[in-house]
């Protein structure tokens, strides 16, 4: 397939989602398996929007790992950069959906295959030739994946690849809240754009205000986005800031909404990075991203619910 335009790097796992909302893990009568992992969701979201995208990451050489690779293939994602570990299993997460569609997680990774990705398993040429590299923070939690992540960032940055970061805080995976904060911020000043939720902003700075968001800006950051669920998103650039209202829908499952938002935004950026300096253009891109996120909450599981460009345009 040649070199992908966009690479999404990180974890790919199975989410076990309860068949009914509003119960604890122990009370759930049954679980439905759904492909998960924020970077994989973003890759599938971009593919559904018609983009040339590769997923870079590692799963177990087991039934679940092969199933996940198949799901991405089917979504139109190039999986040639994926690795399969014969010794470690594919990660699992049990997710409870509260009555409002919000989530709680319990993870099985001791260690899982995604944590064991090594530098020599990464096609650095593909990384250097990407137009955009998107990534999270979960791959910073354990070695050897942490060093691999840092090497990928170094190579991409040197090659002038556009860097998109969504920390995607999952506190249960870190040894402590302090470690999570330090880990997330350790690569903060590498990115060109960063997307965080309002809860993550509060976690990182102690408050959810314009001032605290602006405190996270640094010289080369082109765009900081703070998503507010159904309320929409706030945006901050060196030249302007503002808020774009969300799209109202009846949410069933919020899993993957933030990833659909990122995919929607990157799909506009890959076509024209000049929108980062053009407020009207940026607002349109964020409206598109908001609609992508909203549509995703109307179905269960992330990847099956990711929208096409036609669905987004119809909603707008």
Cα(167)–Cα(129) distance, integer angstroms = 23
Given this model, what pLDDT does residue 3 score? 57
Given this model, what pLDDT does residue 101 score? 66
Of 315, 316, 311, the C-alpha closest to 48 is 311
- Predicted model pTM: 0.95
Of 268, 264, 1, the C-alpha closest to 126 is 1
Given this model, what pLDDT does residue 105 score? 84
To the nearest 10 degrees (0 to 180), the angle between helices 279-296 and 257-271 is: 150
Given this model, what pLDDT does residue 1 score? 42
Of 104, 71, 96, the C-alpha closest to 19 is 96
Q: Which residues of the chain have pLDDT under 70?
A: 1-4, 101
Given this model, what pLDDT does residue 129 score? 96
Q: CA triplet 211, 184, 58: central angle to 5 degrees?
A: 145
Given this model, what pLDDT does residue 78 score? 97
Cα(70)–Cα(48) distance, integer angstroms = 15
Parallel, antiparallel or unpaired: strands 31-36 and 13-18: antiparallel
Of 230, 234, 200, 242, the C-alpha closest to 293 is 230
- 82-85 β-sheet, strand order: 82-85, 53-60, 6-9, 132-135, 162-165, 193-197, 223-227, 232-236, 241-245
Given this model, what pLDDT does residue 299 score? 87
Phi-psi label, residue 128: left if phi above 0, alpha if psi -120 to 50, beta otherwise? alpha
Tokens of 34: 């759904």
Given this model, what pLDDT does residue 4 score? 66
């Amino acid at each position: 397939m040649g070199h992908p335009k966009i690479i999404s790097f990180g974890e790919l796992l199975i989410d076990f989602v309860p068949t009914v909302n509003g119960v604890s893990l122990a009370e759930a009568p049954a679980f439905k398996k759904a492909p998960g992992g924020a970077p994989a969701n973003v890759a599938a979201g971009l593919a559904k929007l018609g983009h040339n995208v590769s997923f870079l990451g590692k799963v177990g050489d087991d039934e679940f790992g092969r199933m996940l690779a198949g799901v991405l293939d089917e979504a139109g994602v190039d999986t040639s950069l994926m690795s399969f570990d014969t010794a470690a299993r594919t990660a699992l997460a049990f997710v409870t959906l509260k009555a409002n569609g919000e989530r709680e997680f319990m993870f099985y990774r001791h260690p899982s295959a995604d944590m064991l990705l090594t530098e020599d398993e990464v096609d650095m040429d593909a990384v250097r030739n990407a137009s955009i590299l998107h990534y999270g923070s979960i791959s910073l939690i354990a070695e050897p994946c942490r060093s691999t992540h840092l090497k990928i960032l170094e190579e991409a940055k040197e090659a002038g690849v556009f860097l998109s970061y969504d920390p995607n805080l999952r506190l249960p995976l870190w040894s402590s809240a302090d470690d999570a904060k330090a880990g997330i911020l350790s690569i903060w000043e590498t990115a060109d754009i960063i997307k965080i939720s309002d809860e993550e902003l509060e976690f990182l700075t102690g408050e959810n205000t314009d001032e605290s968001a602006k405190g996270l800006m640094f010289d080369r950051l082109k765009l900081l986005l703070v998503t507010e669920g159904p309320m929409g998103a706030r945006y901050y650039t060196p030249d302007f800031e503002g808020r774009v209202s969300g799209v109202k829908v009846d949410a069933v499952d919020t899993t993957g909404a933030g990833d659909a938002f990122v995919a929607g935004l990157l799909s506009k950026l890959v076509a024209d990075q000049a929108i980062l300096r053009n407020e009207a253009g940026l607002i349109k891109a964020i409206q598109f991203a908001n609609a992508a996120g909203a549509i995703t909450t109307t179905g269960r599981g992330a990847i099956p619910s990711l929208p096409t460009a036609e669905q987004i345009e119809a909603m707008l």
